[in-house]
Each structure stands twice: as structure tokens, then as C-alpha cells.
Chain A
């Protein structure tokens, strides 16, 4: 599995954009970059994934570096409900072992 590095914590103010970085320099060419988050006292929740191109969905945007060694999850307008631990997980396409492995992630604190 590719090793990832994320800041332990980040802070934001409500309604401001948040950029959550992840380094995954050992990622393989077939690994998709997934992001999950875990709200307090809840199970993990899928956020977004991508391979090479930047991706957008209703929850967030994912910006992937051209060399794929890093990515950034972008929350365009943070809300209090976005306070959670965010996990960056490189994962090969299903067909082989498809087991998300959670690290420590980044704990996002959102101030009102």
C-alpha cells in the first residue's frame, strides 16, 4: 500500500474554503486516490475519489498533482458539519484486494 502523509489537524472558519493536503509519493500508477471522512461518533463516509484528473461532486473537489504524488481535498465553503477526520487513501481499482486502509487522517476543526 502507498504511504500517505497528512497534517494531524487543520482549522478553518465557517463558510471559508478549506484545502486539505495529502502526500502519497509512493502511489502506484493504478491506485485511485480516495478520500473518506469520519464525523464524531459515526462511521467513515466516502467523500470523493480520482485517478488523474481533478474531480468535483456535491461534497467536495479533488485536485490531483500532475505527478500524482500529492492531492488536495477542497471544501469550498466549510460548515460546522464538516468538522471531521479526513482520510486520504490510495486504493487500487476493485478486482484485486479492495480494502481501504485508514491512517490517522487530518482532524478538521471548523470555527463558527
Chain B
């Protein structure tokens, strides 16, 4: 069964450092998402991406965040200067354009720990 894969599974970084989280969506999917989940809290939407541009973003997705699809397969989330409060699980998801009501397929997440 096709799946969304994310790397790294866990990253530890110092505050102020740049972090790039990588995702390989399912190959024929065209819509991509990043969500995050701070420990013990809800899964929160960050950004959606379609046709090489951001479709929607939440208030959380400020200028410190950016997304890119550099090579047609990877979908990355960059945090320019990490803060302690960026510590969370980050989930990538993708969706096919074929279905009018299409399910999102989520990866297993990347745990980011900012010290």
C-alpha cells in the first residue's frame, strides 16, 4: 500500500538553528499538507500546497516557516530559526486530486525537539 514517508523521524536542534523536515508524498498525489502536534495537544493545521504554491496557511505558519517542493517528489518544511515552542511532532499529508472528497494520507511524523 502506498504511503507518505517522512524524515528524519526525530531531530534534536538548538534554539535559533534552521531545520528542514522532509516528506515524500504518495506519487500521484497533488495536494500536500503540513500539520503539527505539540505533546498532549491537538493536531494543528500549518499549511496546504498545490500546484507549487501555498493554498492556505494558518496563523501558526509565520515568516519563520516555508515550504517547498524542490524536485517533484520531496515536500519540505523549513523552520528558519527554531524556538523552544516549535518542539512538536510534524506530520506531512497528501491527497489525490481524483476524488471530490478525498482522504488525506498522513506520514508517521517527524519529532522535533528544540533545546
Chain A residues in the interface with B (C-beta under 8 A): 32, 34, 36, 38, 42-46, 49, 91, 93-95, 97-104
Q: Is the CB of B56 within 8 A of A99?
A: yes
Q: Is the CB of B56 within 8 A of A102?
A: no
A99-B56, A102-B42 given; A46·B100 CB < 8 A? no
Q: Is the interface of B mostly helix, strand, loop or mixed?
A: strand
B-side interface size class? 20 to 34
CB distance from B23 to the nearest CB of A (A): 11
Chain B residues in the interface with A (C-beta under 8 A): 4, 31, 33, 35, 42-45, 48, 55-56, 91, 93, 95, 99-109
Q: Is the CB of A99 within 8 A of B48?
A: yes
A104 proximity list for chain B (CB < 8 A): 42
- Complex: chain A residue closest to B100, CB-CB: A93
Q: Is the CB of B95 within 8 A of A98?
A: yes
User: Most A CB atoms within 10 A — which of B44, B55, B91, B101?
Assistant: B101
B109 proximity list for chain A (CB < 8 A): 42-43
Q: Is the CB of A44 within 8 A of B108?
A: no
Q: Is the CB of B107 within 8 A of A43?
A: yes
